[in-house]
Amino acid sequence: MTVNQVKRAFKYRFYPTDAQAAELARTFGCVRKVYNLALAARTEAFTRQERVNYNQTSAMLTAWKKTEELAFLNDVSSVPLQQCLRHLQLAFTHFFGKRAKYPRFKSKKKSRRSAEYTTSAFRFRDGKLTLAKMAQPLDIVWSRPLPTGATPSTVTVSQDAAGRWFVSLLCDDPSITPLPAADTAVGIDLGLDHLLTLSTGEKIANPRPERRDRARLALAQRRLAKKAKGDGANRSKARRKAARIHARIADRRRDHLHKLTTRLVRENQTLVIEDLTVRNMVKNRRLARAISDAAWSEFRSMLEYKAAWYGREVIAVDRWFPSSKLCSACGTLQDRMPLNVRTWTCDCGTTHDRDVNAAQNLLAAGLAVTACGAGVRPQRRTPGGQSATKQEASRREPRSPRL
């Protein structure tokens, strides 16, 4: 792989035969079993203040396969089982690095059903993918071509709650190269009435993908709630119907965000957003559904990795920066700005659209960071006329607030 090439996953839907579906279902079950056994062993060692690494759990797996109780682990490919141990090792690495919570056990009904195959466990020839322990290639719907000459290094097979089967092929994508440098920058204010408001004044409507199917989803969930709990066919059918609606909503939302983030990254060299704590914001019971439907976190994630692909820069401004209360024309800082105030007039006579003004202030703060380094905010003035910085200096020693 050259320096400029990027690893990219290409996800496709496929339709397995009955034999392939049964084999994959066994593999999913074995992956979940091995993961839980290894997590239990590592947790027990953790309580004794001991560390168990990947090599030790791999040796445990070999011993488990030799027991009569777990002999069924030999019936599936060994590669997905080894890969799940690597995933567990990565989860503990993030935990000890304080980047994630302690790993949790996989649930048969709630956890994602997936298995990862490396190059030794699959064959990819002439556009046909054959997994280990399978005689026939998968019937994949090639909705888009793989990069010319690309060979997958990892294949991940998964099944979602709606019963759909997907295969994800990780390979080098030489088409992803930095775009020509541009002199454009944009501030982005996230909202609910409008999903995005740009510093240019453009407002992008919020498609509200969940609202379109809300009545249909509510009906499907009521019917599911009335089914007796268990493994009955009627409950499974009702569960899949509700899951299909959820999947349609998620697909619609993801498609819109992909198109939007790709456009923003292609048009702008610098993109400035606000560092929102969505996890805390969804605790507002009145706005939780709308905030979750807007998928602000997913938008930011897409924006950041696409900017890294194409040589763009994303700047996140501190969440406490008063972008809505600050006049972008004269720097006056208003005392209060309730959410129901959508337009306001500053003492300098400038009338602001709340969201456009916020986006322009975010852009100014982001450009200040680029020019002067982190911790720089634009000068702002209070309604009394004195700059906020001077007021702070009269009370205490000034310090630069972080961005």
Point out the residues that are catalytic: 189, 274, 355
Could you say which DSSP state residue 14 is in? E
Helix (H, G, I), strand (E, B) or coil at 353: strand
Q: What is the number of alpha carbons within 13 Å of residue 198 lying toward its C-beta?
A: 17
Q: How far apart are CA 77 and CA 88, in angstroms?
A: 18
Q: Pull the structure tokens for residue 261.
A: 């983030």
Which of 134, 33, 37 has the alpha carbon at shortest distance from 77? 134
Helix or strand holding residue 55 (H, E): helix 54-65
* Chain centre to alpha carbon of residue 169: 18
Structure tokens of 57? 């759990």
CA distances from 13 to 49, 56, 299 (A): 44, 36, 24
Q: What token pair was written down for 68?
A: 């009569």
What does the chain come to in residues?
403
CA distance readout (Å), 92 to 12, 39, 106, 236: 30, 10, 15, 34
Q: Please report where in the chains the tokens 């090639």 appear, as a residue.
A: 142
The answer to whether 120 and 158 have CB atoms below 8 angstroms apart is no
